[in-house]
Amino acid sequence: MTPNLLLAAIMLINFMLVASSRVSKCIQLAALQGGLLAMVLLLMHDHWPFHVLLMAFSTAAIKGVVIPAMLNRAQDRMKPQREPEPYVGYTLTLVMAAAGTGMAFILARRLPLQPGNLGTLFVPASIMALFTGFLLLTTRKRALLQVVGYLVLENGVYLFSLLLVKQMPLLVETGVLLDLVVGIFVMGIVINHIQTAFDSQDTHRLAHLKD
């Protein structure tokens, strides 16, 4: 199995994320994407020294297990409610994701990459993940879906950092994972306050706040 095959699967998951309206399914897809990122890291190395195994395990544990479990727990605590319509329709969001993927491939061909990274899907997959995360953050009303969007956006940053993993292995990956944990922690606090104040995750209700 080559990294490109897994990167193609990660790009396919991005399309499934923007086309799905179910929070639980989006959490499952984000968890699967986190697990694939750990496998990509392993496939980039011919040998697996301790620090590579440690970072792959940390990536799979945090992105594929811990954070999705926290999101599922938050989802279970919410009262069943009708899914609010997104700011932008699912079909149009899917078309925007497809257009963003095309632009990612064009941009990847113009970037000065190291010879070993030419012809790989690292840059297109990372840019597409960034764009997918941005779409989920800006077009969805449910706070949990926006957290999933932040998680996918960070997956794009993580993929891009893998291009430098052989030069600065621990520095890059540790920094990205710490940034992710802090971001999810802050967004968890925000979701809790939204749920407490409005008894709902619909961030659209924040527009009705008055001074």
Nearest to 48 by CA among 35, 57, 37: 57
Residue 9 contacts by C-beta under 8 Å, 6 or more apart in sequence? 36
Task: Print pLDDT tens along the chain (211 aa).
Answer: 678 899 999 999 999 999 988 888 999 999 999 899 989 888 887 888 887 888 888 888 888 898 888 888 888 877 655 566 788 888 899 999 999 999 988 888 887 777 766 778 888 899 999 999 999 988 888 878 888 888 898 888 888 888 776 666 666 666 666 666 666 666 666 666 666 665 565 666 656 655 5
- Look at the pTM and tell me if it is higher than 0.85: no
